[in-house]
Structures are given as C-alpha cells and as structure tokens.
Amino acid sequence: MKTATIIGLGLIGGSLGLSLKDKKLCDCVMGIEHSEKSARRAMELGLVDGITTLDEALDKSDLIVLATPVDTIPTLAVKILNRIRRDQILMDMGSTKQELCELTAMHPNRGRLVATHPMWGTEHSGPEAAQHDAFKGRTVVICDREQSDADALQAIEQLYSAIGMPIKYMSAEEQDLHCAYISHISHITSFALALTVLEKEREEEHIFDLAAGGFESTVRLAKSLPQTWAPIFLENKYNVLDVLREHIHQLQILRRMIEKDDRQGLVEAMQRANKIREILK
C-alpha cells in the first residue's frame, strides 16, 4: 500500500498513523484534521508524514481511514463512497456501527468500505494521546464483512494482523449491542460516579488526598473527552438505555440489601460478581 490518509488525528487515528509508520505498512501516511493546532501537533509528533485535503486524499490515497467522532462517520463515509475508485479502500474505526452500515448498505460502492472497531482506547485525547504499539494484542471487530469486496476485506485483515490485532467478525447490530455492555456502560458509569462525588464532596482537597486506587481506577474513564462520548451514547442509544436499565436494577438490589442489613445477600451477590475473574484473568 503506497499512501494512506487518516481523517482525524486524535487518540485512535494518531495511534494508527504511528502503527502504519512503525510497521512500514505504507510508503506515506497523510492526515486530515479540522483543527490547525492539532494538525501541527500531529506533524511535530510524527504521527503522519503530511497534512492533506479530502480532495487530494481521494485523488492519491490507496486507503482512507475515518477516525472522527462517530456521529460524523456515516455522512463522511457516504461522501467518500460517492467518489471512491475501485482501487481504493475506505475503512472506519468508530465504536458504533449500525447507523454507518444501514446508511451505506445500498450504496453502489459499499464494497469498498470495511467497517471496523479496534477495541482499544484510553481516557486521553488529541494527538498527544497517540501511542506506539497501541493496538498490539487487542481485538478488532470487523462488521458485516460479507458487504465488503474480497480484496478490500483481505487488505484490511492483513493490515490489522500486521499491527498485532486478533480479528473477530460480527454484524453491526451485534457489535453495537456487545459494546454497550462491555465498553459504553463502563464510561457512562464512570461519568456518573464522578458527578456523584463532585456533587456530594464539596472539598476538592479531600477528593485529592483521600482518593485511593479503587476510586481512581473506577473514575478514570470520566476523564474521557465528552465530544467523543456524547455521540457514542446517542448513536447507540437503545442499547445503552437497555444496559442502563439493568445496571440501575442491580444497583437497586444492592441498595435494598444494604438498607436491610442483608449481609448474606451482599456476600452472595458479590460472589456472583467475582465470577468475572474467571473470564477476565
């Protein structure tokens, strides 16, 4: 692959740029970034070889990657598919897939799109958050692979394998459902916990001085960029609402046990929760 262009040079897009360059998977890695400040910083950090425009990318790139907020990806994908050539590939890296796949399903150039979700991220954002070897050992989900052309799918499979990512295949609907339970609920819970503590604990000094490892690890995700996560929650609205209902139900059960001094009930509930250790070793 000669030239790849990454649209969006934050945590995910910037880390992909580093991976492509480190593994020498492309002769040239270009970037598109709406923020001039972020574009300059991406160049300073060596995330990409240069900054370009969408017109130039469509003219010169073998691979175009969408790593922008999820609410911008579907319309951007259609815009690019309207002009894409048969020898070019479009890939997205968003964490929600159903709207993208539904919007592009009947597009005559749908086969040039490979819908992917690398299961990696941190609470940090912007070009400075990009990391070398960020994706190594992390799973990537490829959605609705039967809708992608064989050559496009194979090229993206080879790319992800080269940067060390095991591949899992799902439908867009499955992906969004499972991510609501595994990823999105973790973030919304962390935001809620941070809001709870900020509301109840008025002394910032106490939060800083007394916060132990458990609190820090649980609330870490609340440092994540709202401009990234608000669109994710809304794009995956019905799955997020479903998991929230169950989460609130479990909190209410625990609350009732505490109100009733139900030590045995608490122990049994936590023992059931401990089974997660058998899965996440």
Residue 200 pLDDT: 75
256-276: pLDDT as tens digits: 999 999 999 999 999 999 998
Percent of the chain at pLDDT > 70 equals 95
Residue 234 pLDDT: 96
Residue 169 pLDDT: 98
Q: Specify the pTM.
A: 0.89
116-148: pLDDT as tens digits: 999 999 999 999 999 999 999 999 999 999 999
Residue 211 pLDDT: 64
Q: For the CA atoms of 273, 274, 275, 276, what is the dihedral angle to 10 degrees? A: 80
Q: How many CA atoms lie within 13 A of 154 on its CB side?
A: 3
- The encoded tokens of residue 70 equal 């999820």
170-189: pLDDT as tens digits: 999 999 999 999 999 999 99
Residue 205 pLDDT: 66
Lowest mean pLDDT among 44-58, 78-92, 202-216: 202-216
Burial of 61 (0-12, 13-18, 19+ CB in 10 A): buried
194-224: pLDDT as tens digits: 898 888 777 666 666 666 667 777 888 999 9
Residue 212 pLDDT: 63
Residue 199 pLDDT: 80
> Could you tell me which residues are beta bridge partners of residue 113?
90
- The encoded tokens of residue 164 equal 């060390």
Lowest mean pLDDT among 89-103, 149-163, 200-214, 219-233: 200-214
Domains, the chain: 3-171 (3.40.50.720), 175-279 (1.10.3660.10)
In degrees, to the nearest 5, what angle opens at C-alpha 173 toward C-alphas 167 and 178? 65
Residue 32 pLDDT: 98
Number of helices followed by number of strands (H, E) in the chain: 14, 8
